Structure 1
Amino acid sequence: MKNIIIILISTLLISSCTVNNAQKDIPYQPARKYFVKNTYDNKDFTEKIISSQDEFERFFGAATTMGIDGKPTPIDFSKENVLALIYPKTNLEVKIIPVSLQENERNTVYSYKVVEGAPRGFMTIPNTIIIIQKPNSKKIIFHKIKE
């Protein structure tokens, strides 16, 4: 009987000390067929929250091509925001990979990783754009996952 009481008290103490950091996945859509304009001069890696068409057009242009999948992903800034990750101009093969978009009690956290590859014979400005629903009042935090 004494052992059961000790186990019960221990279980209660342990469970009362755990913190409930419930995280909820937030849906997002990758934006396709956009490029970083040459007029945007970024010397450092840029993490950007874009909430208007005018602001978006300062950074990005549409890369429309012929065919069914040739149009850029539509973005409705009255309902949506864009989270953009822009790498500085480089000759390296670079992939910027979205890992997750999650919401906790206080923040929305966008986790991503950057994978650098071999040099190439030309320069590019690697980027990744995702489209999210207009967020609530929670702060959006960018989190780079190190390999």
Structure 2
Amino acid sequence: MKKLPIIFFAAASICLVACNSAQKADSKDSVSTTSQAEKEVDKSVPYEEAKNYFVKNTVPSGEVGARKIETQEHFDSYFGPAATMGENGMPTKIDFNTHFVIAILSPETDLKREDVHVGLSQIDSNIIVSFHEHLGEKMSFTTRGATILIVDKKYNGPVTLQESEEDHSGHDHGHDHSH
């Protein structure tokens, strides 16, 4: 009678090892399939958002949308530093030797900029910028928002803006921001 539990245990162990090996083989197949699929799909592009800059009032109000900026001089023609008090009050440093900037200029508005959703992906050598700005309540003054993304030059390529149609503010702004 003692042999039955030992035989059962041995059979269960063999089954467990065989099942585990089959799962590993399946996962290897799915990994190679996934990597093949990734080649055909866009790849996420990492970025850092620059803080504490303002759009200069010399930038024409009609200049909206995404633009690629590759030099400090070009950047300075659009933005000025806006240092604030506190630990993170200095403008983000940008090294144009190793990085470039994707600047998304918003139109002037009297609505409060409450939230911004940004995503960068790359298809072939093209960088696709997904962008949506959530505007809220009316203010007593106008302002001009900008989103400044710092991107490593290894992701260099033409930039295209895809603005989301979603508008949480209840207003239909209907702006075309592509360039």
Q: Tell me whether the two structures share a fold, i.e. TM-score over 0.5.
A: yes
Amino acid aligned to 2:98: K
Cα pair 1:101 1:111 within 8 Å, conserved: yes
Is structure 2 residue 142 aligned with structure 1 residue 142? no
Is structure 2 residue 121 aligned with structure 1 residue 102? yes
Q: Deviations over 1:94-113 (max 9, x none)?
A: 35624311112242211111
Q: Distance in 2 between matches of 1:142 and 1:36?
A: 19
Gaps of 5+ in 1: 1-17
Is structure 2 residue 106 aligned with structure 1 residue 87? yes
Deviation of 1:67 after TM superposition, in Å, equals 2.8
Deviation of 1:123 after TM superposition, in Å, equals 1.3
Bigger radius of gyration: 2
Q: 2:55 aligns with which of 26, 30, 36?
A: 36
Q: How well do the aligned residues superpose, as a CA RMSD in angstroms?
A: 2.2
Identity %: 33
Gaps of 5+ in 2: 1-36, 167-179
Q: Deviations over 1:81-133 (max 9, x none)?
A: 11111112221123562431111224221111122322101111111111001
The residue number in structure 2 matching 1:51 is 70
* Greater relative CO (CA pairs within 8 A, separation 6+): 1
TM-score (norm 1): 0.78
Q: Distance in 2 between matches of 1:91 and 1:63?
A: 20
TM-score (norm 2): 0.65
Which is helix-richer, 1 or 2? 2
Deviating above 4 A after TM superposition, structure 1's stretches of 4 or more consecutive aligned residues are none
